[in-house]
Structure 1
């Protein structure tokens, strides 16, 4: 059928518009595609080149060397020693069971470690190395290396592990490291990638834990070429990490070991602080434990033995545990009363052996009483009634204020685990804690360091140093970091009346040097080094009226856990205080018998910077002291021999 010209013209116009539309769309698509290709190939070229490179090159972290820890004289306390291990690669070993059996004929394999390694081998990729034996001796490593051709897939390796040459003496101070656990990771908001390296170790307790960020260092890295399966083909380059900082402590290693030896066989703690700058020269808790046991993972049997020991070797008693300070608190009560004009050094209190307070009888330790007693006599002979009386005049709030001024109730910022703040109670504290009013009997109990009052051996040493100097001496444990000296704890004036301090010091001097003083038997014979001190006995049980009437049961007749704690604090020399010492012997009985003798020996060792001469002791004690020193020297030689063997 023949179309007329008008129809043909309209058809051509419609076809032309469609062609233009389709052509325009095709042109736009092609242009967009070209622009996208240009964007990807030109502008984004670097990005995709890097992504392609990362499919071929991996970055592996290199753990840094952990910082070392030294004592004040440069003696190593925590070091990194070579650790040899034997690893296996499953895909190279072929018959794993046969290779392991052959290896077992060359070196001794721990059954438990071997079982764990074989389980890990099954879970791991076939090309990843798994440790079969850790801490292998050099002789065993040599034997494996010589027989390497007959042990396919077996490779001897060397790494670094933590070692503590001084062992138990510094376990509570330095602490120890251990493998990173899931619990460790859960406590850290943004964990360092280093912590995810298998078997990487971090500080668990003590300085190792509290200064972990300094000691850990920064990771290095190596670039390795890998194939599609993730297997390393070759190493391209390496950047070593930055080692951790070296820390120098204020503690003297020899003095620390002497303290441990002197307190051997007792559940006790002792702190020695430098009165001039606050340096902790010794901070010991006994018994202790070998921190090297924890580095690789302590056995269940060893850990259970530590947990079940009634002397609690895992506890850092010097800073963690708090005790009623007993009569060592009497200097606090005395200074509070003197500073607030509640008494004078010449005022006397009559002590018949007890004081009636609110229809309750508060007893003195001396059943027959001390008679008329002034400040010096009250300290010298430790009269309880004197302090009941002056405390009721001055009040608990002023006593608590003085206690805090002298360092009690304060948590010191030391890099040790579980440092306690103790307790200097007030009216408000009891109301908030128990919802009860403060009673007058509470004040009487607090006056002699019983009741709610609690203090750690560290706090008692600080208190003594502050009384000796009149300054706010603050304990310091880190002396330097990478050789950079850290701020000292010299402190400033406490603002106390110097005459009041002098009167209290005179009373402490009488305790150790007057014949009726409670610590006279533990005096220092060397005149220039004489010490001032205060005994303390902290009750851990209530004495009933019936028992008191029949006669109080002696500590030695009670089970160990029901005996009183023994305490002693001192500073020396009296005329120019150098060191302050606090000793607590758990369930040791009387402070004059159980705590004063070791405290005297410890302060003498510190003053002489070594074993003191017999002439420093009263003549009657020299034969006993000589035998004691010989025992300690034998122990020191034994420890030195062990350290030499380990080295």
Structure 2
């Protein structure tokens, strides 16, 4: 019995040993074979060339400068060898710092890395060529082709184009190309269309020895690259507007009524080339401390009271409520009293009897005060949201703001407070809580001109397809029928002797529009007559709006201008709008019959 037990135990032990030998020699063969292949097959990524950004006529807005990157072979443990190679580089390029290059090398040197280490990311072609062959005589130095983003127009259209810069950890986790290139679109078109512009990685599978010497190319895939993007921008018009805004802060947008943007500027602008290789602390501080906010894209991130530019949308809401007709009169004696507060019209002597067209033409505040009390804030807010306010315009730029269209529910949700009639009154003339972006105003102006709400866009054509414009039908049948009254009022703003913009417009074509003066400082109740804008301190002056469309009978173009702290809309923005249309006529945007 004991001998049988020993024999059974003997067979069990040998069975375990034999099964283990079988596993190690046969079953694990495929696993270790795969590991061996990994050791002998090396994958090298081929970086795609980033697509260029061009204006509608092919003029360059973002291109790639050709140059070289300098690498040094890894595992140089002796400082003398490393220092010798780096000093050969710095002797040729005096702006490079020896200690910084050594630090960069040490940071990426590792026993597990067998690839040359990049110490100089970019040297331009012109600078490298005199020393190219001399540097290659050093077997420790490797020179490879490289590309660096360049913005030839510098400040012009910088908020639209945006810029590329070094990718952070979050970027490299999300983006495979950025992980290899170390570069990604950070703002503007560069960011919005980054995935398209950067292309797709190619690769080579190489058979190598244990010493990393290439024996053979096993597989190769070309990168998908050079995906150029044509924008709707006309650089000629963009340059002209840039000059108009010298020493001014604000926004200008020139757009086709279908949403195609011909020019758009947020002023002051900045040079995006500063960010490509990393901006200095001094320059960054200078940008963010500038009170005119050159680094803010005011097209979509500037939030302003719309002032009187909102009055056409409010008027459409009045008419749609059926509580007010185009012929309903209100009497303006310069102010209304509500509770213990006086709400003034901009014209302290009053406008007398006012109906819709006159109210728009002369921008009578009392008309809108009285109408808003009859119609109510909830109806007005509902209609303004349909017209594109309080939501994104959909323009192809990242991080767009939505603004504020207030009503009773909004105030309760945000502040936990009840709504007051006085807040309805100030909202009706685009003050109080109301905030809009210039892009929303341009889009809304196109709605008034055509009856369709377009999606603004900068992309015109990609490598294999064109951008398809989008428009929404958002107005009620009654609002569409009443547009003729709104348009007549806007026409008289720019053409009638009493129009608020007439004396600042002198053109061979007929345009329609609306001025706006957006107050940023409240008027004390005990002030009998408002202080003149030019008497106020600069940063206390109102923002000046003028939004227009042309030609009046067959609208094709929108021009919207905001001058920060410009004072009155007509006086500050009118000459700029007039100059833009004059330039558009010169460039052939209008026909003789317009």
TM-score (norm 2): 0.91
The residue aligned with 1:52 is 36
The residue aligned with 2:341 is 360
The residue aligned with 1:115 is 99
The residue aligned with 2:248 is 266
Quick check: 1:171 aligned with 2:158?
A: yes
Quick check: 1:154 aligned with 2:141?
A: yes
Mean Cα displacement is larger for which, 127-136 or 374-383?
127-136
The residue aligned with 1:523 is 505
Q: 1:496 to 1:449 in 2, by over 3 A?
A: farther
Q: 1:18 to 1:572 in 2, by over 3 A?
A: closer
Q: 1:22 to 1:574 in 2, by over 3 A?
A: closer
The residue aligned with 2:406 is 425
Structure-1 separation of matches of 2:366 and 2:55: 45
The residue aligned with 1:578 is 556
The residue aligned with 1:534 is 514
Structure-2 separation of matches of 1:149 and 1:459: 57
| Match for residue 221 of structure 1 among 195, 198, 203 | 203
Cα offset, 1:119, TM superposition: 0.7
Instruction: Please give the root-mean-square deviation of Cα atoms over the aligned residues, in Å.
Output: 2.8
Q: Which runs of 5+ in 1 are unaligned?
A: 1-12, 617-647
Quick check: 1:203 aligned with 2:189?
A: no
| Match for residue 436 of structure 1 among 407, 417, 430 | 417
Q: 1:90 to 1:46 in 2, by over 3 A?
A: closer
Cα offset, 1:540, TM superposition: 0.6
The residue aligned with 1:87 is 71
Mean Cα displacement is larger for which, 145-154 or 406-415?
145-154
The residue aligned with 2:83 is 97
What do the CA deviations read for 1:525-567 (whole angstroms, capped 9, x no partner)? 31xx210011100111111134x23x43322222211111001
| Match for residue 542 of structure 2 among 564, 582, 592 | 564
Mean Cα displacement is larger for which, 296-305 or 126-135?
126-135
Q: 1:373 to 1:73 in 2, by over 3 A?
A: same
Q: 1:102 to 1:441 in 2, by over 3 A?
A: same
Cα offset, 1:387, TM superposition: 1.0
Structure-1 separation of matches of 2:536 and 2:64: 47
What do the CA deviations read for 1:385-444 (whole angstroms, capped 9, x no partner)? 111111111111111122112211121223313311111111111111111111110111
Count the aligned residue pairs: 586
Quick check: 1:506 aligned with 2:493?
A: no
Q: 1:159 to 1:610 in 2, by over 3 A?
A: farther
Structure-1 separation of matches of 2:468 and 2:223: 29
The residue aligned with 1:645 is none
Structure-2 separation of matches of 1:18 and 1:349: 114
Structure-1 separation of matches of 2:146 and 2:21: 55
TM-score (norm 1): 0.84
Task: Specify the SS of the correspondent of 1:387.
Answer: helix
**Bigger Rg over Cα:** 1
Mean Cα displacement is larger for which, 282-291 or 118-127?
118-127
What do the CA deviations read for 1:246-289 (whole angstroms, capped 9, x no partner)? 333222222222222222221111122211x2212222101111
Cα offset, 1:139, TM superposition: 3.9
| Match for residue 242 of structure 1 among 216, 219, 224 | 224
Structure-1 separation of matches of 2:542 and 2:88: 61
Given that 1:180 and 1:202 are in contact with CA atoms closer than 8 Å, whether structure 2 keeps it comes out as yes
Cα offset, 1:152, TM superposition: 5.2
Q: 1:64 to 1:312 in 2, by over 3 A?
A: same
The residue aligned with 2:573 is 595
Quick check: 1:485 aligned with 2:466?
A: yes
1:312-327 counterparts in 2 under 5 A?
312-327=293-308
Task: Specify the SS of the correspondent of 2:285.
Answer: helix
Task: Specify the SS of the correspondent of 2:346.
Answer: coil
The residue aligned with 1:69 is 53
Given that 1:72 and 1:249 are in contact with CA atoms closer than 8 Å, whether structure 2 keeps it comes out as yes
Mean Cα displacement is larger for which, 479-488 or 456-465?
479-488
Given that 2:163 and 2:190 are in contact with CA atoms closer than 8 Å, whether structure 1 keeps it comes out as yes
Structure-2 separation of matches of 1:282 and 1:236: 49
Structure-2 separation of matches of 1:115 and 1:610: 58
Given that 2:562 and 2:573 are in contact with CA atoms closer than 8 Å, whether structure 1 keeps it comes out as yes
Mean Cα displacement is larger for which, 445-454 or 175-184?
175-184
The residue aligned with 2:23 is 36
The residue aligned with 1:251 is 233
Q: Which runs of 5+ in 2 are unaligned?
A: none
Task: Specify the SS of the correspondent of 1:303.
Answer: helix
Cα offset, 1:63, TM superposition: 1.9
The residue aligned with 1:342 is 323
Structure-2 separation of matches of 1:14 and 1:534: 110
